[in-house]
């Protein structure tokens, strides 16, 4: 017994091969954290760059956005196929693909680099996209490359590292480590084996430390002190869940239809003329931008934060217009995520709903609707309320947020039976091409 224990200890702690793998894995997780932070900083600069253009003239988006969308769509289709859209569907598809060469097409470092560059370019052109979904694909790509470099076992390379990379990307992008773990379980893998869980935890912790050391202990939307009592406002989470689930489900259903090809003559024209589609989407986005007083561009982070803080200067139609702007950005065929825009849509809808509950704090209604709409879009209710809870550092709203998320999930399933990312992932599976 002692000899067997000694052999196991020697193998675990003094094996050059295992230490080489550990160092490569830790280095990969550090890289995910670094790139996520740099991606966040780049997004800020891209947003400010577009705001500068609007400051020069509010009509410049009518030129910059359509031309920018055409250029990005062309580069994506010509040089980086597989980088369009969020990046989460590609990561989910890669988990199901057995062929190593096909998986590399979705999770290569080349695709990861293009994802970052093209998403920043999209934000610079005013697209209503987020960086969090792309960060998931970038994180998964980095740790997938780590698996190849470290010559990990097939199980580790194919599943554990990909899931861990995606989870680390979420954790570093939002500075929400718990949400990264929950996202890995609920959305990416739907189950988590013991062997995989340790890899995910390690990657999330390392990426989180990098984010924390570079950006500090911040919360994505600041600190909110909104509180809520189910005794006096039990109807509010149900209403938020109903509205968020309904509109979130309709949004997801629309994106699924666009990904499969819009029916009828319009869909045919979109497939045959993708660059013209990108130009028209950019032009329509500029129209929505003018109608919204130029508040629907970008991630929506600043607008959502202002709404939570009670300092927003947005119209009553902001939520709906932001939803439409995100659909137009997706329909153009450019890279970009929907995480942050979805939270902004939820914040706008929550501000409108708050007028129906004057006795309750506006912040509590906004938080519940953000969770509800996000849960309605991604149909991952636990991730939805955990991510908003961590992003606002508000633990007093846990139960109302859970109720709103679960109601929204149920309503969304009626509108859109198949989860969004799972449906979009089908487009990247080999059998879909035949």
**In the chain, where the domains are located:** 16-215, 230-433
Predicted local distance difference test score (pLDDT) of residue 315:
82
Q: Are 376 and 393 in contact (CB under 8 A)?
A: no
pLDDT in tens, 266-320: 778 888 889 999 999 999 999 999 999 999 999 998 899 889 888 878 888 999 9
Q: What integer is the mean pLDDT of 222-226?
A: 53
* Rounded CA Rg of the chain: 21
What's the pTM value of the predicted model, to 2 decimals?
A: 0.87
Q: What integer is the mean pLDDT of 195-208?
A: 65
| CA dist., res. 140 & res. 253, Å (int) | 26
Q: What integer is the mean pLDDT of 168-187?
A: 74
Nearest to 146 by CA among 186, 206, 85, 191: 206
Mean pLDDT score of the chain: 83
pLDDT in tens, 64-97: 999 999 999 999 999 998 788 888 899 888 888 8
Q: What integer is the mean pLDDT of 30-36?
A: 89
Nearest to 327 by CA among 426, 389, 255: 255
Query: Which DSSP helix (H) or strand (E) runs through 155?
Result: helix 154-155
Nearest to 326 by CA among 338, 314, 334: 338
Task: Decide if domain 230-433 falls under CATH 2.60.120.260.
Answer: no
| CA dist., res. 106 & res. 407, Å (int) | 34
| Farthest-apart Cα atoms in the chain, separation | 78
Confidence of residue 430 (pLDDT cuts 50, 70, 90): confident
pLDDT in tens, 102-131: 888 888 899 999 999 999 999 999 999 999
Q: Do 16-215 and 230-433 come out as alike in CATH topology?
A: yes
CATH class of the domain whose range is 16-215: mainly alpha
Q: Are 314 and 295 in contact (CB under 8 A)?
A: yes
Query: What count of residues does the chain have?
Result: 434
Q: Are 304 and 367 in contact (CB under 8 A)?
A: no
| 3-class SS of residue 130 | strand
Cα angle 220, 176, 174; round to 5:
45
pLDDT in tens, 348-378: 999 999 999 888 888 889 999 999 999 999 9
Q: Are 377 and 245 in contact (CB under 8 A)?
A: no
């Amino acid at each position: 017994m002692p000899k067997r224990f000694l052999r196991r200890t020697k193998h675990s702690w003094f094996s050059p091969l295992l230490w080489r793998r550990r160092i490569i894995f830790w280095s990969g997780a550090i890289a995910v954290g670094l790139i996520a932070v740099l991606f966040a900083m780049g997004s800020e600069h891209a947003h400010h760059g577009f705001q500068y253009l609007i400051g020069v003239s509010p009509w410049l988006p009518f030129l910059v956005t359509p031309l920018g969308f055409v250029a990005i769509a062309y580069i994506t289709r010509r040089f980086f196929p597989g980088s369009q859209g969020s990046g989460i569907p590609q990561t989910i598809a890669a988990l199901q693909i057995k062929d190593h060469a096909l998986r590399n097409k979705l999770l290569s470092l080349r695709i990861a680099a293009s994802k970052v560059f093209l998403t920043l370019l999209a934000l610079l052109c005013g697209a209503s996209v987020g960086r969090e979904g792309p960060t998931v694909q970038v994180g998964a790509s980095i740790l997938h490359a780590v698996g190849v470099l470290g010559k990990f076992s097939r199980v580790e390379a194919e599943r554990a590292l990909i899931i861990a990379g995606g989870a680390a990307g979420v954790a570093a992008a939002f500075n929400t480590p718990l949400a990264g773990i929950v996202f890995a379980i609920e959305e990416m893998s739907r189950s988590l084996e013991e062997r995989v869980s340790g890899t995910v935890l390690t990657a999330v912790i390392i990426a989180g430390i990098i984010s924390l050391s570079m950006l500090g202990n911040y919360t994505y939307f600041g600190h909110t002190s909104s509180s809520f009592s189910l005794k006096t406002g039990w109807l509010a989470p149900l209403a938020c869940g109903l509205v968020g689930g309904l509109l979130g489900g309709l949004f997801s259903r629309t994106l699924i239809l666009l990904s499969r090809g819009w029916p009828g003559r319009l869909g045919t024209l979109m497939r045959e003329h993708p660059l013209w589609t990108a130009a028209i989407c950019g032009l329509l986005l500029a129209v929505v931008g003018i109608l919204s007083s130029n508040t629907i561009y970008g991630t929506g982070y600043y607008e959502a934060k202002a709404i939570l803080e009670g300092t927003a200067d947005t119209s009553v139609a902001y939520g709906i217009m932001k939803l439409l702007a995100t659909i137009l950005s997706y329909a153009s065929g450019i890279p970009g995520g929907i995480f942050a825009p979805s939270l902004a849509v939820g914040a706008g809808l929550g501000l409108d709903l708050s007028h129906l509950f004057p006795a309750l704090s506006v912040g509590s209604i906004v938080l519940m609707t953000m969770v509800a709409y996000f849960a309605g879009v991604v149909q991952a209710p636990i991730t939805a309320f955990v991510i908003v809870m961590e992003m606002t550092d508000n633990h007093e709203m846990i139960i109302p947020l859970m109720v709103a998320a679960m109601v929204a999930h149920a309503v969304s399933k009626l509108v859109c039976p198949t989860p969004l990312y799972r449906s979009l992932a089908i487009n990247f599976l080999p059998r879909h091409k035949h």
